[in-house]
A and B are shown apart, each in its own frame.
Chain A
């Protein structure tokens, strides 16, 4: 019993919540005909950048201490590619929660969908990204924790374990961090830069193609229709629009030679060269 207990304490079963999002950092964005969303065609979808670091952290913990990593997402079938990536990177299991009724869910509704699934699973730790690169709500992790009745820490840049607690460094403003101790099981929302996500080999992706992705719908997770989708959400988007500019840069046009000549003139006139 002693032996089992100590081994059990060292190995951790980790759930990682991931989101499949369009990569928009360097893409040009267009507002679609509804005026409530962006044009998705032509955009490349991938795992949310913050979730990528969360997954990598989970896999590193598993490699060091043993245990399992389960990746969970909410979304339609095309989000499987993000789950396959998680499996290729070291997740043992993958689950996708999907239902036409989930359409229109905000972060609150998503947290409820995740909670209703996760409460039936065995886990020591849940990792999420601190935020999603698309909507940036920054709330799924701590809401999920509250609904599960466990503690949380957000903006996590470092994790250490010590006798039933996670000691984390949280990123504050201006380069400062705080060290905080959280009782486990807990939800930790991961900030980018906590690690260096690994490269996925073609072989890894091929192997992951054969693994099963468990798919569950509204009826399977035991939520009512009114708890999900737009009716189960806090936020209802009315319209999206291009931000009004505080000022507009004066554009310098021409060949690199012409452009740099103009810049050099500006710098010279200001005594910068």
Chain B
């Protein structure tokens, strides 16, 4: 009987959510394909993590080595290559995270195994892996077949599957590290925290989130005034920070902050997954976008299909009028 591998992801002493999400989906796939679910945990002094993860998988392969203390694709790839060659898992699941995207493609190329990235759903049709993923910033979904193989590798999108704790008490098996010499070509140096910003958007009750639709920096005062009228602050999606119109501490999404304000007004934000992940649990979401098919309308409570340059100033006036 073969197995399904889930690569556990952890950082700075914390197991990351994606690990449990993949273990939950992995368990379902293992049941359907009559295989075993095996978590693969790499690190240094992570026996506590192994204990936690063993409640989600039948088996945990634990590889401990000082060289695995921090994520390093070169070291991770050597260990995973060995495990994959030895056990020939039907499927290896890796998070579509910053760690995962640094590891999975080169691992797949080295092992000559097909890889499908950023999957939001997975199923086996016979022996063929069929995946669902998104294209064009989440505007369309794609169903695709992965080239037939004895062993597949996928990266899985964060929050695509809800984690559920099963009733399992798995067995941890310590595997000796195959890393013999110091990895020489790639070396982790340190974590770099973002500079503390002036505004904590996670504490704000009202956020006006702006995106690409803002078009020009000269339109910033107009949205700032709206935020001010609402007693809130400005937040944004990635392009606004990339352009330097707002600082990094205002960014909402997977690479920025996760927020849960009482009100989130999304102006000119199309609603790519990376942004939505950071704001979809807001109490009330109102979105203004010119494109009626923009994905943001699948997450908003209320939607306005119109030009934000008409709606935002009118809303500011209306609120000021009501406030007297």
A interface residues, Cβ below 8 angstroms from B: 24-29, 31, 38, 108, 111, 130, 133-143, 145-147, 151-155, 167, 169-183, 192-193, 196, 233-253, 256-257, 259-261, 263-264, 266-268, 270, 272-273
Contact = CB atoms under 8 A, between A and B. Distances in A.
Interface stretch (B40-48, B103-111, B161-169): B103-111
B229 to A, nearest CB: 9
A175 B102 CA distance: 17
Given A108-B115, A174-B256, A29 B140 contact: yes
A130 B241 CA distance: 17
Given A178-B191, A263-B304, 14 more contacts: A28-B293, A137-B118, A151-B74, A151-B185, A172-B97, A172-B98, A182-B186, A234-B116, A243-B138, A243-B139, A246-B298, A251-B305, A272-B206, A272-B262
Contacts of B192: 169, 176-179
Contacts of A135: 135
B191 A176 contact: yes
Contacts of A177: 191-194
B101 interface: yes
B106 A252 contact: no
B102 A154 contact: yes
Contacts of B140: 29, 31, 38, 240-243
A169 B188 CA distance: 10
Given A179-B192, A252-B302, A260 B315 contact: yes
Contact of A241 (B73, B143, B243, B297): B143
Closest 6 CB pairs of A and B: A249-B303, A193-B242, A234-B114, A139-B105, A245-B298, A146-B109
Best-buried of B72, B97, B213, B322 by chain A (most CB within 10 Å)? B322
Q: Is the interface of A mostly helix, strand, loop or mixed?
A: mixed
Best-buried of A27, A28, A253, A273 by chain B (most CB within 10 Å)? A273
A183 B185 contact: yes
B244 interface: yes
A268 B322 contact: yes
B319 interface: yes
Q: Is the interface of B mostly helix, strand, loop or mixed?
A: mixed
Contacts, number: 273
A238 B134 CA distance: 13
B255 interface: yes
A151 B187 CA distance: 11
Interface in B107-137: 108-110, 114-118, 130-131, 133-137
Interface stretch (B27-35, B54-62, B170-178, B282-290): B282-290
B78 interface: no
Contact of A242 (B256, B270, B293, B302): B293
Nearest to B113: A234
A241 B298 contact: no
Contacts of B318: 260-261, 263-264
A242 B136 CA distance: 11
Interface in B263-282: 263, 270
B257 A259 contact: no
Interface in B209-230: 212-213, 230
B185 to A, nearest CB: 4
B189 interface: yes
Contacts of A180: 72, 186-189
A202 to B, nearest CB: 20
B200 interface: no
Contact of B304 (A26, A242, A251): A251
A239 B144 CA distance: 7
Contacts of A238: 130, 143-145
Contacts of B130: 238
Contacts of A134: 135-136
B117 A170 contact: no
B145 A196 contact: no
Best-buried of B98, B134, B206, B270 by chain A (most CB within 10 Å)? B98
Contact of A250 (B102, B191, B302): B302
Contacts of B24: none
Contacts of A176: 191-194
A171 B274 CA distance: 13
B76 interface: no
Interface in B235-258: 238-239, 241-244, 248-249, 251, 254-258
Nearest to A268: B322
B69 to A, nearest CB: 13
Contacts of B188: 178-180
A268 B139 CA distance: 33
Contacts of B26: none
A26 to B, nearest CB: 6
13 contacts: A147-B109, A153-B186, A155-B102, A174-B256, A175-B257, A178-B70, A180-B189, A181-B189, A234-B108, A236-B145, A238-B143, A243-B141, A260-B318
A133 B136 contact: yes
A34 to B, nearest CB: 13
Contact of A193 (B118, B187, B241, B306): B241
Interface string B84-99: 0000000000001111
B185 A138 contact: no
